[in-house]
Amino acid sequence: MLWTWAGNSMAAPANSTSPDPEQNGGHFAITAQASKLFGEQGPTPMMIDIKPGSPENVVRAGAKRVIPVAILGSSDLDVIGINPRTIRLNGVDIMLVGKSDKSLCHQADINDDTYEDLVCDVRTTGYKVVEGEYTIILKAGTYNGESLRGEDRIKIVGN
């Protein structure tokens, strides 16, 4: 679920259910059901949250660490069906550890909406960016072959 208003994309608030822009701070909601209903092709939209709990999603340029990213579960999306090995954030995959290459993902309800979310760590070493604000795209697949796509914004600041 993404909202678009005046050419800017942003993630919809987790508690938002109304497509009425007056009730949603001037933003229009686009749900997974609506995109299927109108026959749009491509991946199913989903909500993501980069750096859960951080409203500004600030990342230091050149930081050699990971960025936590949450795929937000909902009545439309049960995150248990997402294959963590398919998750890519702007083309960079999630962290894998150990000899079994286990993904650094876990389930938790991070936004207190009663739906389990999938929180994964993504390597920042794959990014070469300069200071500024960017729309970041997360793509993933489910075990049954469905493609998913979500967006959020990050702000890159100097070291």
- Count of domains for the chain: 1
CATH of the domain at 78: 2.60.40.10
pTM over 0.85, yes/no = no
Phi first, then psi: what are they for 81, rounded to 5°?
-85, -5
Query: Would 1 be classed as within a structural domain?
Result: no
Task: Give tens-digit pLDDT for 109-157.
Answer: 999 999 999 998 877 665 667 789 989 899 999 999 999 999 999 898 8
Query: Would 31 be classed as within a structural domain?
Result: no
Q: Which domain holds residue 132?
A: 43-157
Query: Would 4 be classed as within a structural domain?
Result: no
Query: Would 22 be classed as within a structural domain?
Result: no
Task: Give tens-digit pLDDT for 20-79.
Answer: 434 433 333 444 444 444 445 679 999 999 999 888 898 887 766 778 899 999 999 999
Instruction: Give the burial class of 56: count Cβ atoms within 10 A of its Cβ; 0-12 exposed, 13-18 middle, 19 or more buried.
Output: exposed
Query: Would 34 be classed as within a structural domain?
Result: no
CA distance 118 to 106: 6
